[in-house]
Structure 1
């Protein structure tokens, strides 16, 4: 079982032998045929990967630090919500995340003082629903689920409308585009352990549901292809295939009671750099997955199995 950062970070910081010993262990070996691997220590994860001539990099997991992580988390939130990021108080949301420093992780390289390359957290929607940043998200996700239709339209708005009885954990996760997927399973596993520890300590993390917010994209007819007829381009739009920015989402979806991709409200107002995706045949969209609490651990385990088998 993964170590609990929340209980042991102070001990880790007082032990000068841990970092060097674990770093040596995680970066040893020069066999190019060995698969990527991670090593869980008392408070962090080291991930080492060697691909031919690429230099090994150690990724470390840290608790949130309000004095360090605000801007890095806000930048990743802006990426997560894409065109609709302007609809939210991202500063207020970032504050909530970094102040909740015993749940979730940032993933960094070299030093804790650097900006996060990835982050993962869960917020109690029932507890924070009166706060403006969370109220905005609750209204937005309920409306977007209804817009998407299907099982999400039937399940998500009802769960969010009954936060007196449903304790919903909003899972937010994002990473830089070139981050290796292998850093993700330790982050999710550690989140499960930290939630268990928080519940044991009487903290408000005994969720009935988890609502995972992510993003996805469709492969669409490229507007750069002037040779295609109008009929061919229309058919391509109708047959657009859903793809995943985060490969683990495909596995998490298998355990979800409802899942849906939804169009961004502000996508027509996106900057030219965003519209370039669609011109090249890529149309970003939001994505949400509603998971019953009893299936969350199985989903996290499946992520680890899937990423491990894909390497």
Structure 2
């Protein structure tokens, strides 16, 4: 399996990010410097990546992260070191800026972290008409006997350029293909991608403002995406939809204000993609992000 192990010096992409030049007091556009940053992909290393992955998992599951054994889940991910990638800057020993992996939900169904996720995602899927029609059955013991679902977990720091993400997805496709050839348990019938989005909500800080301001799209606010590639990948999904976090009481919207007028209420989001369409979905997000979707 050497062809999927020896990629630790490969560069994911030469992504360009903006960084403020702090030499001087001026904050005008003239003070913006362009800094080239080399992001690199690495295999998981249990001695290095546990804490970085756990931090990103906490971000991925937002208010509900406390419902899961994140330490156990992080161990599963980093021990699976020939499937998935971390994305880092400068050195393998640094914390991950982004991660991507897939777990066999049937293979690991008896392990506490995966059992928790199966129960959680099954219940959340029942709250969304699109997801309810297929996800709970697929994740049930009966459904798992006939289908094998790959649970895709991915997140990144919010200021990461989206251009670094397509190489991670492309690498995942190659690794899964190689693992299947080696008779490892990664031959899936479906992929369940767990992500998150948000709604803009009227601020509760000012009563008059709250009465005057409405979210975009009126009372039924449209789901917005933290990850632009999710919007493109959704087009290839058999089922997709959002769900409310269990631990979110709505009071944190103002503390997550991304806009001056509006608060931000995060939502869970998942997509079920048939294996036959997964590679096409990955190619589509590469085209989308590469075409200026960031």
Give the structure 2 partner of residue 202 of structure 1: 183
Offset of residue 227 of structure 1: 2.3
Offset of residue 7 of structure 1: 3.8
2:273 paired with 1:281? no
Q: Distance in 1 between matches of 2:5 and 2:40?
A: 17
Q: Distance in 1 between matches of 2:17 and 2:228?
A: 21
Q: Deviations 1:54-96 (Å, cap 9, x if unpaired)? A: 2211100000000000000000000000000000000000000
* Over 6 Å off, 4+ runs: 234-237
Offset of residue 232 of structure 1: 6.6
Structure with the higher strand share, 1 or 2: 2
Q: Structure 1 residues 50, 77: CA separation in 2 closer, same or farther (over 3 Å shift)?
A: closer
- Does structure 1 conserve the Cα–Cα contact (< 8 Å) formed by 2:13 and 2:167? no
2:107 paired with 1:109? no
Paired residues, number = 274
Q: Structure 1 residues 225, 242: CA separation in 2 closer, same or farther (over 3 Å shift)?
A: farther
Q: Deviations 1:9-58 (Å, cap 9, x if unpaired)? A: 4xx7xxxxxx6xxxxxxxxxxxxxxxxxxxxx4xx424242656222111
Look up the SS of the partner of 2:33 in the other structure: coil
Give the structure 2 partner of residue 89 of structure 1: 69
Look up the SS of the partner of 1:58 in the other structure: strand
Q: Could you tell which deviates more after superposition, 158-167 or 291-300?
A: 158-167
Offset of residue 233 of structure 1: 5.2
Give the structure 2 partner of residue 180 of structure 1: 161
2:43 paired with 1:63? yes
Q: Structure 1 residues 68, 280: CA separation in 2 closer, same or farther (over 3 Å shift)?
A: same
- Does structure 2 conserve the Cα–Cα contact (< 8 Å) formed by 1:143 and 1:157? yes
Q: Distance in 2 between matches of 1:206 and 1:186?
A: 21
Look up the SS of the partner of 2:187 in the other structure: coil
From 148, 152, 157, the counterpart of 2:136: 157
Q: Could you tell which deviates more after superposition, 188-197 or 218-227?
A: 218-227
Give the structure 2 partner of residue 127 of structure 1: 107
- Does structure 2 conserve the Cα–Cα contact (< 8 Å) formed by 1:49 and 1:57? yes
Give the structure 2 partner of residue 45 of structure 1: 12
Give the structure 2 partner of residue 306 of structure 1: 288
Give the structure 1 partner of residue 202 of structure 2: 221
Offset of residue 5 of structure 1: 6.0
Look up the SS of the partner of 2:249 in the other structure: helix
Look up the SS of the partner of 2:53 in the other structure: helix
What TM-score, normalized by structure 2, do the two folds share?
0.87
Offset of residue 224 of structure 1: 3.0
- Does structure 2 conserve the Cα–Cα contact (< 8 Å) formed by 1:263 and 1:286? yes
Q: Could you tell which deviates more after superposition, 156-165 or 287-296?
A: 156-165
Q: Structure 1 residues 54, 214: CA separation in 2 closer, same or farther (over 3 Å shift)?
A: same
- Quote the RMSD (CA, aligned, Å): 2.3
